């Protein structure tokens, strides 16, 4: 990382600010001593212009539409790797050898069970509790069953990582079973990571479920697409909570809760609801385009545009192709896909969308794929959470090992009243 200087002029005074340059040429003003030197802070709502950390995990260029995990392009990883290989890459910094992959997979299987006492927690949730509320509560409760994680530095990293990665899918599947009133299905050593999850989701005492290879491959790819995405809302939440030295499960739960929102991980569910609304209104895409442009309309466009990408989301390109492949392989015709394709075609040829950088994002097609492979709508964000877990873990580990890490404590620009006196008629009772 190279270092240069910039100069900040404030009246007659000039201040030197170091300029940090990243591995891919991105630059950042080092303002760590800004308030100390100048008594000024930087006002940046949403922290969209603030680099909160140095990271070697994910590189993202929103203008060029580039996404890489540890230097590997997302397109290549989706094409050639399994989810557990990518999870290993994010956490360990390198793709696993055959031996490392097999050992990692064996550890994932070995630690896929959850403590039997945790089953009681599931039983006490309301009948129709949202799976995300169950997932977040169950993940944070794991710290009570594995208290040794309060001092993670003394525990083998693989044990920490695999325990959470593996149990996350079990908790997710149990959350779904709870929501539909079916008995839990335990994980099995006979299945791979994704097949194990599918079996726990869809097997039952009265149905001999066999995971479909097409569905398993699709799920692997979808989880890879969601595995990490730089310092987004949920990852920043993980780092912020983790900066207090909270244990891993508490930090990951913060990420789950942040992901739940419709502006983040819940957006794929919102896309399905939007496409359903268009279909139920007759499927007129041209009318939909006009409603989107109408400032007085309450209709909201979901699945287009992104806080970071100013061009086509590279994950959306992969998801679109995967969507077509999966539906064709399964022999499914989905009206919502037809509407999505028409909506995208019209939007990409309309100046209203082009000038506003409103291109499809990853959420636009993933919900349709989840529908096709049998995942219910209220589980969409849970699927996102399973995929994002290795990225959250990698960021938590990186943060804990960073010697420059400090507890997160943003400043504010106070706009409230000045000093006021308590009125004389207010008396203590």
Catalytic, 80? Answer no
Together in a domain, 255 and 276: no
pLDDT in tens, the chain (429 residues): 446 899 989 888 898 999 998 888 888 888 888 888 888 888 889 888 899 999 999 999 988 999 999 999 999 999 999 999 999 999 999 999 999 999 999 989 989 999 989 888 888 888 788 999 999 999 999 988 876 544 545 455 667 778 899 999 999 999 999 888 899 999 999 999 999 999 999 999 898 889 999 999 999 999 999 999 999 999 999 999 999 999 899 999 999 999 998 888 888 888 999 999 999 989 999 999 998 888 888 888 888 888 788 888 899 999 999 999 999 999 989 899 899 989 988 888 889 988 888 888 888 899 899 999 999 999 999 999 999 999 999 999 999 999 999 999 999 999 999 999 988 887 766
Question: How far apart are the C-alpha atoms of 192 and 382, rounded to whole Å?
Answer: 19
| Domain CATH code at residue 221 | 1.10.580.10
Quick check: is 418 in a domain?
A: no
CA distances from 316 to 222, 262, 343 (A): 11, 18, 14
The total number of structural domains that make up the chain: 3
CA distance 9 to 303: 42
Cα torsion at 230, 235, 240, 242 (round to 10°)?
A: -110
- Judgement on whether residues 92 and 234 belong to the same structural domain of the protein: yes
Burial level of 130, CB count in 10 A (0-12/13-18/19+)? middle
Domain boundary among 355, 372, 389: 372
At 37, which CATH number?
2.20.28.60
3-state percent breakdown (helix, strand, coil) of the chain, nearest 5: 55, 10, 40
* Domain harbouring 362, CATH code: 1.10.230.10
Query: 131-145 vs 157-180: helix axis angle to the nearest 10?
Result: 140
- Answer yes or no: do 204 and 353 share one domain: no
Do 288 and 230 lie in a common domain?
Answer: no
Instruction: Quote the pLDDT of residue 154.
Output: 47
Which tokens belong to 189?
């050593």
Query: Which of 75, 302, 110, 296 lies closest to 193, judged by CA?
Result: 110
Domain extent, residue 99, equals 74-263+377-401
- What is the secondary structure of 105-172 as a DSSP string? HHHHHHT----TTHHHHHHTS-TT--HHHHHHHHHHHHHHH-GGGGGGGGS-HHHHHHHHHHHHHHHH
Q: Which are the contacts of 166, defined by CB distance < 8 A and separation ≥ 6?
A: 107, 108, 109, 110, 111, 112, 187, 193
Residues 367 and 381 in one domain: no
- Asked if residue 203 and residue 341 are part of one domain, the reply reads no
408-418 as b/e: b if 16+ CB within 10 A? beeeeeeeeee
User: 303 with 156, same domain?
Assistant: no
Whether 251 and 286 map to the same domain: the answer is no
Structural domain includes residue 415: no
**3-state SS assignment for residue 242:** helix
Task: Based on the fold, state whether residues 195 and 114 are members of the same structural domain.
Answer: yes
Alpha carbon of 54 to those of 28, 239, 315: distances in Å? 10, 12, 23
Q: At what angle do helices 213-225 and 380-401 cross, to 10 degrees?
A: 50
Residue 59 lies in a domain: no
Q: Considering the domain boundaries, does residue 63 fall inside one? A: no
Is there a domain that residue 303 lies in? yes
Helices 131-145/248-259 angle, 10° precision: 170
Identify the CA nearest to 87 among candidates 226, 262, 283. Answer: 226
* Active-site pick, 195, 228, 313, 363: 363
| Element containing residue 53 per DSSP (H, E) | none
Distance CA 184, CA 205 (A): 10
Do residues 187 and 302 both lie within one domain? no
- Which pair of structure tokens corresponds to residue 251? 């930090």
**pLDDT at res. 98:** 95
* pLDDT for residue 360: 87
Q: Which residues contact 70 (CB under 8 A, 6 or more apart)?
A: 56, 57, 58, 89, 90, 93, 94
Q: Would 419 be classed as within a structural domain?
A: no
In a domain, 205, yes or no: yes
Query: What pLDDT, on the 0 to 100 scale, is given for residue 150?
Result: 46
Q: Is 22 inside a domain boundary?
A: yes
306 catalytic residue (yes or no): yes
Residues 147 and 101 in one domain: yes
Please tell me which residue in 195, 264, 306, 313 is annotated as part of the active site. 306
Indicate if 253 and 397 belong to the same structural domain. yes
């Amino acid at each position: 990382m190279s270092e240069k200087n910039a100069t900040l002029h404030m009246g007659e005074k000039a201040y030197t600010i170091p300029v940090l340059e990243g591995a891919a040429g991105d630059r950042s003003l080092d303002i760590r001593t800004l308030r100390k030197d100048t008594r000024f802070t930087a006002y940046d709502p949403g922290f969209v212009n603030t680099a909160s950390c140095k990271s070697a995990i994910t590189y993202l260029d929103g203008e060029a539409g580039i996404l890489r995990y540890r230097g590997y392009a997302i397109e290549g990883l989706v094409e050639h790797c399994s989810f557990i290989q990518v999870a290993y890459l994010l956490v360990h910094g390198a793709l696993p050898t055959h031996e490392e992959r097999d050992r990692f997979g064996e550890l994932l299987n070995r630690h896929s069970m959850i403590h039997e006492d945790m089953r009681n927690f599931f039983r006490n949730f309301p009948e129709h509790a949202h799976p995300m509320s169950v997932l977040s509560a169950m993940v944070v409760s794991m710290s009570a069953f594995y208290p040794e994680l309060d001092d993670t530095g003394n525990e083998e990293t693989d044990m920490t990582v695999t325990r959470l990665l593996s149990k996350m899918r079990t908790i997710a599947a149990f959350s779904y079973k709870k929501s539909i009133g079916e008995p839990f299905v335990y994980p099995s050593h006979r299945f791979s990571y994704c097949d194990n999850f599918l079996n726990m989701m869809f097997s039952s005492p009265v149905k001999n479920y066999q995971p479909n290879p097409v569905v398993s491959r699709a799920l692997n790819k979808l989880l890879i697409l969601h595995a990490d995405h730089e310092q987004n809302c949920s990852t920043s939440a993980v780092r912020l909570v983790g900066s207090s030295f909270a244990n891993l499960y508490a930090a990951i739960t913060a990420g789950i809760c942040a992901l739940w929102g419709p502006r983040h991980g819940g957006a794929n569910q919102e896309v399905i609801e939007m496409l359903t609304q268009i279909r139920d209104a007759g499927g007129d895409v041209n009318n939909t385009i006009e409603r989107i442009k109408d400032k007085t309309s309450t209709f909201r466009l979901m699945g287009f545009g992104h806080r970071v990408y100013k061009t086509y989301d590279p994950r959306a390109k992969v998801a679109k192709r995967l969507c077509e492949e999966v539906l064709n392989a399964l022999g499914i015709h989905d009206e919502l896909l037809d509407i999505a394709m028409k909506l995208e075609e019209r939007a990409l040829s309309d100046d209203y969308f082009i000038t506003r950088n409103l291109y499809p994002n990853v959420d636009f097609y993933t919900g349709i794929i989840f529908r096709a492979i049998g995942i219910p709508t209220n589980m969409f964000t849970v699927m996102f959470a399973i995929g994002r877990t290795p990225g959250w873990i990698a960021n938590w580990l990186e943060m804990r090992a960073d010697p420059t890490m400090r507890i997160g404590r943003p400043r504010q620009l106070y706009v409230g009243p000045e000093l006021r006196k308590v009125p004389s008629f207010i008396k203590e009772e």
